[in-house]
């Protein structure tokens, strides 16, 4: 019998270990790695960048010649009649006529007012824009991931706090029942303890629902199966070393939205160069090797053929186009002005956001220390209250008040850490220094 009990215990332990291992501990680093590999928007932005890279080529800028091969074969059947100058008439029914032309031709624009060079530089800037858009997408998604992850940590901590309060409420109910049994408490004290315990259980169920929904949301952000079970680390480590001047300097160098506006200005300037290129002549070189053959059923020449090299050049210059050139240049210059204004606007917005978030960040750091101290005091107060309740020197209302104060202090401390972490994430996102 002892052997059977031992085996049963081992089996139960094994299944408990399997169940515990099934709940993987997901760190923020692992979550970021999974999101970078799976997130659909990041994949789309990456593919768009590959498109921009592919477009950067001399041929796409118009610098290389265009070589074409062509074949033209024409055939016909006609009833022909010819009258010569001497009055002789020749006629032929169902006369067959055919012509065949084939060859290779080359067309090369060797000068277009430097537009092709500006076009190539513009393509390179578009590639940089794609890189910046990918960076912006990644930082945005990683910021969102961090927010949801630490929201889940916060809810996990609150769930632990509610577990603690249920444990305390159970102890209170047991004490109330014991006191009622020996005649030192009324039935009302037992009922109040039971009601408070049920209230705590209700709050726990609601918190479990919120925790489960946030876990599903985190799986969604990581673009993986929403049913995958996991737990997060039970800690919110806040970086308390952030300085506003350093964040501002970083933002001016690597904020993706600001980088986007700067690149857009360069693209507008290169667009103006291309438009100004229309004022210069365009020179094209053409060459080709052609073979032609023709057959005719009637005429002075019934068959002919030719082959050889063709070459030449073409130059053109726009002399007047109804002032379209002037209008296009004016519009391009206004686009550059708009791009500069967008940079100034983004700088102002960036500085305002950094200043506001940093002030909130400092406030949240102070709240962390304050709520930590408040939790320690509330815990000490609860311990004293429990001891007094055991010997019956305080009322149930006083006990409940001390209990709620302690739980609220734990929740407030967790919320203070979470809010400080949120502002840290936002500041690093604006500075472009959010690690991934």
DSSP type of residue 310: E
Q: How confident is the model at residue 3 (pLDDT cuts 50, 70, 90)?
A: very low
Question: Do 395 and 342 form a contact (C-beta atoms < 8 A)?
Answer: no
Pairing between strand 282-295 and 303-316?
Answer: antiparallel
Residues 46-66 have pLDDT tens digits of: 999 999 999 999 999 999 999
Question: CA-to-CA distance for 173 and 181, rounded, in angstroms?
Answer: 12
For 186-200, the pLDDT digits (tens) are: 888 889 889 999 999
pLDDT in tens, 301-321: 667 788 889 899 999 999 999
pLDDT at 96: 78
Count of other CB atoms within 10 angstroms of residue 159:
15
Instruction: In whole angstroms, give the CA distance from residue 20 to residue 17.
Output: 5
Q: What angle do CA 196, 199, 200 make, to 5 degrees?
A: 90
Taking residues 212-223, report their average pLDDT: 94
Q: What local confidence, expressed as pLDDT, does residue 262 receive?
A: 96
Structural element, H or E, at residue 50: helix 40-55
Task: Determine the Cα–Cα distance for residues 222 and 215; give it in Å rounded to an integer.
Answer: 11
- What's the pLDDT at 217? 95
Query: What Cα–Cα distance (Å) separates residue 238 from each residue in 421, 423, 429?
Result: 5, 10, 15
Bridge partners for 82 per DSSP: 90
Structure tokens at 132: 């910046």
Instruction: Give 350-382 pLDDT, tens digit per residue.
Output: 999 999 999 999 999 999 999 999 999 999 999
Q: How far apart are CA 222 and CA 38, in angstroms?
A: 6
Q: Residue 15: pLDDT above 80?
A: no
How far is Cα 139 from Cα 257, in angstroms, rounded to an integer? 11
Residues 328, 272: Cα–Cα separation, whole Å? 8
Reply yes or no on whether the pLDDT at 420 is more than 60: yes
Whole-angstrom Cα distance, residue 134 to residue 45?
Answer: 5
Digit-coded pLDDT (tens) for 84-132: 666 676 776 776 778 888 999 999 999 999 999 999 999 999 999 999 9
- DSSP output for 355-378: HHHHHHHHHHHHHHHHHHHHHHHH
Tens digits of per-residue pLDDT, 259-296? 999 999 999 999 999 999 999 999 999 999 988 888 77
Length of the chain: 436
Global pTM value: 0.81
Whether residue 10 is predicted with pLDDT greater than 50 in this model: the reply is no
């Amino acid at each position: 019998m002892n052997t059977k009990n031992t085996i049963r215990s081992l089996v139960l332990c094994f299944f408990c270990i399997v169940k515990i291992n099934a709940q993987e501990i997901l760190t923020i680093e692992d979550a970021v790695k999974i999101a970078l590999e799976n997130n659909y928007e990041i994949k789309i932005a990456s593919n768009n960048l590959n498109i921009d890279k592919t477009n950067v080529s001399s041929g796409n800028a118009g610098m290389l010649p265009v070589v074409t091969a062509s074949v033209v074969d024409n055939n016909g059947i006609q009833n022909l009649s010819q009258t010569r100058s001497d009055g002789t008439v020749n006629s032929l029914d169902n006369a067959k006529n055919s012509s065949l032309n084939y060859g290779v031709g080359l067309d090369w624009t060797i000068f277009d007012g430097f537009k092709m060079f500006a076009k190539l530089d513009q393509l390179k800037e578009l590639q940089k824009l794609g890189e910046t858009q990918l960076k912006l997408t990644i930082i945005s998604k990683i910021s969102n991931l961090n927010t949801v992850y630490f929201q889940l940590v916060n809810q996990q901590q609150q769930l632990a706090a509610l577990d603690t309060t249920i444990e305390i409420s159970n102890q209170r109910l047991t004490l109330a029942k014991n006191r009622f049994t020996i005649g030192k408490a009324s039935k009302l004290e037992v009922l109040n303890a039971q009601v408070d315990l049920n209230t705590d259980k209700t709050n726990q169920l609601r918190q479990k629902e919120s925790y489960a929904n946030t876990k599903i949301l985190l799986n969604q952000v990581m673009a993986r199966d929403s049913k995958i079970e996991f737990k997060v680390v039970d800690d919110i480590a806040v970086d308390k070393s952030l300085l506003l001047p350093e964040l501002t300097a970083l933002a001016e160098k690597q904020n993706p939205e600001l980088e986007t506006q700067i690149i857009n200005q360069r693209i507008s300037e290169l667009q103006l160069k291309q438009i100004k290129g229309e004022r210069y002549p365009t020179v094209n070189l053409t060459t080709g090797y052609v073979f032609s053959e023709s057959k005719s059923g009637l005429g002075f020449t019934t068959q002919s053929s030719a082959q050889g090299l063709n070459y030449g050049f073409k130059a053109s210059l726009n002399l007047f186009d109804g002032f379209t050139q002037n209008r296009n240049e004016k519009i391009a210059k206004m686009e550059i002005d708009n791009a500069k204004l967008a940079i100034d606007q983004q700088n102002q917005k960036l500085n305002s956001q950094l200043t506001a978030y940093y002030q909130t960040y400092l406030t949240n750091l102070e709240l962390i220390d304050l709520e930590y101290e408040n939790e320690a005091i509330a815990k000490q107060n609860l311990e004293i209250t429990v001891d007094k309740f055991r010997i019956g020197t305080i009322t149930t209302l006083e006990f409940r008040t001390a209990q709620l104060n302690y739980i609220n202090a734990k929740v407030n401390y967790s919320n203070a850490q979470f809010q400080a972490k949120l502002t840290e994430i936002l500041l690093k996102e604006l500075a472009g220094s959010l690690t991934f």
